[in-house]
Amino acid sequence: MTVIRDAIWQNIWIEPTALRLIDTAPFQRLRRVKQLGLAYLVYPGAVHTRFDHALGVYHLAGRALRLLERSGELAARGERERAILSLAGLLHDIGHYPFSHTLEELETGLVPSDHEQLAGQFLADPEVAAALEPLGPGAAREIHDLILGRSKSALQGLVSGSLDLDKIEYLKRDAVYCGVPYGEIDVDRLLDSLRLLQDPESGHLQVGVAVQGIAALESLLFAKYQMFRNVYWHHAVRAASVTFQRLIREALTGGWAAREHIVGSGDEELLSALEALAASSESESARRARGWLIPALRHRRLPKRAAEWRGDALTDALTRLQREVAPWFHARPELRAALEDRLARELDLEPSHLLLDYPAKPGMLELDILMLGRDGSVQRLTGAGRAGLIDLPRLGRDLYHAARVLRVFTWPRVELRQPERILELVTAPESEIVELVGQPA
Q: Which portions of the chain are predicted below pLDDT 70?
A: 113, 115, 383-393
Q: What is the pLDDT of residue 339?
A: 97
Each residue's pLDDT tens digit, 164-194: 899 999 999 999 999 999 878 999 999 999 9
Tens digit of each residue's pLDDT (9 = 90 or more) over 213-269: 988 988 888 899 999 999 999 999 999 999 999 999 999 999 999 988 998 899 999
Residue 45 lies in a domain: yes
Residues 28 and 152 in one domain: yes
Which CATH number belongs to the domain containing residue 119 in this structure?
A: 1.10.3210.10
Supply the pLDDT for residue 72. Answer: 87
Domain boundary among 271, 302, 333: 302
Task: Give the span between the Cα atoms of 193 and 137, in whole angstroms.
Answer: 34
Domain annotation covers residue 141: yes
Is residue 31 located within the same domain as residue 105?
A: yes
From CA 289, how far away is CA 275, in angstroms rounded?
8
Residue 207 is assigned to a structural domain of this protein: no
* Per-residue pLDDT, 391: 65
Among 302, 330, 356, the domain-final residue is: 302
- Beta-ladder partners of 378: 372
Instruction: Name which of 162, 163, 170 is nearest 39 in CA terms.
Output: 170
H or E segment to which residue 22 belongs: helix 16-22
Helix (H, G, I), strand (E, B) or coil at 231: helix
Same domain, yes or no: 278 and 130: no
Which pLDDT belongs to residue 387?
Answer: 41
Closest CA to 184 of 223, 225, 229: 223
Provide the 10 A C-beta neighbour count for residue 280.
9
292 in Cβ contact with 411 (< 8 Å)? yes
Residues 31 and 128 in one domain: yes
CA 87, 92, 96, 99 dihedral sign is negative
| Whether residue 105 is found in the same domain as residue 245 | no
* Of 359, 347, 116, 351, residue with least CA distance to 249: 351
What element of type H or E holds 198?
Answer: strand 194-198
Counting the structural domains of the chain, the total is: 2
Asked if 147 and 156 touch (Cβ cutoff 8 Å), the reply is no
Asked if residue 197 belongs to a domain, the reply is no
**CA 353 to CA 293: how far, in whole Å?**
9
How many CA atoms lie within 13 Å of 119's alpha carbon, on the beta-carbon side? 21
Give the DSSP letter string of 161-218. STT-HHHHHHHHHHHHHHT-STT---HHHHHHTEEEEE-TTT--EEEEEEGGGHHHHH
State residue 101's pLDDT score.
87
Q: What is the model's pTM? A: 0.94
For residues 172 and 182, give the distance between their C-alpha atoms in angstroms, rounded to a whole number: 9
pLDDT of residue 389: 52
108 and 240 belong to one structural domain: no
Structural domain including 21 reads 2-179
Answer positive or negative: Cα dihedral of 377, 380, 384, 385. Answer: positive
Is residue 280 a part of any domain in this protein? Answer: yes
Q: Are residues 6 and 132 in the same domain?
A: yes
148 and 280 belong to one structural domain: no
Burial class (CB in 10 A: 0-12, 13-18, 19+), 360: exposed
- What span, in angstroms and rounded, lies between the C-alpha atoms of 280 and 256? 8
Residue 24 in any domain: the answer is yes
Separation between Cα atoms, residue 107 and residue 136, nearest integer Å: 37
The two beta strands, 205-210 and 304-310, are unpaired
The neighbour count for residue 66, using CB atoms within 10 Å, is 13
Please check whether residue 218 lies inside any domain of the structure. no
